[in-house]
Structures are given as structure tokens and as C-alpha cells.
Structure 1
């Protein structure tokens, strides 16, 4: 865990932060004000960033790699809700606002580098930067809408349809994701996904 200013690759990290879907709204002086709260971490595939059911929450900015938001039921059955990658965010903002435990875990799908900060400090920063707050809250709503759309897709589309929808919406992730993870997200077996690909249906 290293502060941005102390990181040996701080110049690259600052460029990556400036490309983030929310932080790109920040002026230089605002980024400088935020930077002391951000720590940079490298993670391995399978590392757990946030555990479902906790109240201690953080804000994440993805610099490299792919994460997954995943919910687990009492029988340990998992459902993947989304795959944030570079320039994206992960957050438990809605749960924090409602005063409830986070309803999902955040796990590394690949090796990943993230910048993170306590959610309470991020919210305090937003309160004094209305333009960034508006962009962030829009992105949170966009993510929730996307997850709802995915849930509906699982019920309404057949297997090829689900795969085609993913390829249309997230073409940059299709080849990068481990096929086991992609199959789980689409509620398919890895064998079915492989068969569709081999038959030329995707």
C-alpha cells in the first residue's frame, strides 16, 4: 500500500487516474487535493478487495487489470454482477448512504492495480466538488442500470443471445476475460461457451 506521491511509477499512475471515468472531471488542483488520500495497491488473481456483509467500505479506481463484483448466497452460490476494468470504478456508495452492509464482494479476476481510499473521505471530497459528485452519482446509477439489464438478459435471452449481447456491449473484455469467469457471468457452463465458439455461433 503506497501513497501516489511516493510510488515509483507515480507519473504513470497520475495519467491513469486522470483517465478514470469519474476523476477525468477533476482540475489539476482538485486532483492534487485528492491525491494524499489515495493509496495504490497491486493485487494477484483471486485477491479479495471487499468482503460482502461489511460496513468498512472503500472507493476503488481501477488502474490496471479486471475486477468482478460478485454476490454470494447462503449456499455459497455466486453470481457475478459486473466486470470493472481500467478507467472504471468500484464502490459501495449506495450501501454506505443507506447505512447497510455492502451487498457484494469485489474480487480480482486478473492481476490488478487499484487506487483506493476510505469511502467516508471520498464522500466528504464529493460534498465540496459538485461537478465531480454529479459525474460520480451518474456513473453509480449507470452501473446499477447495467446490472439490472444483465439480470433481465439472463432470463430473456438464449445462450447465443447472451454471448452476443456481451460482445456488443463489452468487446474490449471478451478476449481478456478467463472463459470460466465469462461463462459464470452469462450463466453458462464453460463447455457451452466453448461449443458456441467452436460452432461459429459467436
Structure 2
């Protein structure tokens, strides 16, 4: 059952032949983590990519002033991990932590590399996922640098209204690059 949600996510990007899918699916292993557990620390090399079956995680940057900047959230039905560190096998600049108890599937870098070398369709799937992710990062960069606090707030709640029930407001404010007080005011005043 847990790999059915993985299959749905994979096939929504690029359907794989049965033999490719079985090889891919066999490399994902179930793991569970407690709330507020750090999976990857800055300076560590990411050895896994995850698929979230249940729970919420966030990747964040910790500045020299100890101010956190939330970069991305992952939750049920999405992929997770410090992807640049994973793909390049270089030390991460970010942290990945669970915000809630989390049940996930994970794929090791060794299996990932072997699959990419052996199955052209899986390599194509990875390229497409990477392209979609890059497009999302660029869109988010535009939002962060050119939109007002209210516009960013509206976009977040239009795109992902469920996050208000899943993620503490201080992390959502950090993700939007706004002050928590401003976030709280927007929550009370903005109607969608």
C-alpha cells in the first residue's frame, strides 16, 4: 500500500514500464522518525531522498546570527530531502527536520546511482522531476523578491490552504520571508 502512493507520484511525472517500476520500487525502504528530529545537518552529505507517507518536514538555513530561513516544506505525498546535496554528493548548507512524527520511504544514493546508470527511463524521470523542481524554485524566487507580504500570503493559501492546519505559523512566516506578527495580521484580515 505504501508504495502505491509512491507509484502515483512517480507516474504523475513520467510513467515507467513495469520492469523499470519494479526495479525502482524495490529500492525504497520504510523509515520512521520522531517529531523535531534532524535528518540532515548543515555540513553533512545527504545520503537519502525520501517520499513522505505521513508527516511534515522542513528544510531550513541557519544563518550566522542563528536566524532561521525556512526553504521548503514536505508532507504526505511529496518527496523530501536536501536534494542538491543528494544529487551532487557535497555537504549540505541546510538542515532537514521533521515537524511531526514522520513515516517515509527512502532511497539511498548508491541505489539511486545504480538505477540511473541501468534504466534510461528512470534517468529521464529524474531529469523531468529536476526540471519541474527548478521551475518551482524560480517561481518562488520571483514571489520572494517582487511580491508584497499580502501577495505572498494569498499565493500560499491559494496554492496550499491545508498548510495552516499542518505547519506552525512561525515556520510559514519564515517560508514567506515575513515577520510572524505580519503573518498573524494577514491571517486575520485577508479573505480568500
Counterpart of 2:189?
A: 199
Give structure 1 stretches of 5+ with no counterpart. 1-11
Residues in 1 aligned to 2:182 and 2:97: alpha-carbon distance in whole angstroms: 24
Residues in 2 aligned to 1:186 and 1:151: alpha-carbon distance in whole angstroms: 11
Task: Say whether residues 1:13 and 2:38 are aligned partners.
Answer: no
1:125 aligns with one of 96, 110, 115:
115
Aligned residues: 191
Counterpart of 1:116?
A: 106
The aligned runs of 1:44-59 (5 Å cut-off) are 44-59=34-49
Counterpart of 1:173?
A: 163
The aligned runs of 1:52-91 (5 Å cut-off) are 52-91=42-81
- 1:137-170 CA deviation, whole Å, 9 max, x = no partner? 2222322332333233222111111101112332
The aligned runs of 1:84-163 (5 Å cut-off) are 84-163=74-153
Task: Say whether residues 1:190 and 2:180 are aligned partners.
Answer: yes
Retained in 2: the 8 A contact 1:82–1:147?
Answer: no
Q: Mean alpha-carbon deviation: is it higher for 161-170 or for 31-40? A: 31-40
Compared with structure 1, are the counterparts of its residues 35 and 139 closer, same or farther at alpha carbon in structure 2 (3 Å cutoff)?
Answer: closer
Retained in 2: the 8 A contact 1:43–1:111?
Answer: yes
Residues in 2 aligned to 1:51 and 1:58: alpha-carbon distance in whole angstroms: 13
Retained in 2: the 8 A contact 1:93–1:119?
Answer: no
TM-score in terms of structure 2 length: 0.83
Q: Mean alpha-carbon deviation: is it higher for 73-82 or for 144-153? A: 144-153
Query: How much has 1:116 moved relative to structure 2?
Result: 1.0
Q: Mean alpha-carbon deviation: is it higher for 178-187 or for 168-177? A: 168-177
- What's the RMSD between the two structures over aligned residues? 2.5
Retained in 1: the 8 A contact 2:51–2:77?
Answer: yes
Partner SS state of residue 3, structure 2: helix
Partner SS state of residue 20, structure 1: helix
TM-score in terms of structure 1 length: 0.79
Partner SS state of residue 9, structure 2: coil
Query: How much has 1:30 moved relative to structure 2?
Result: 3.4
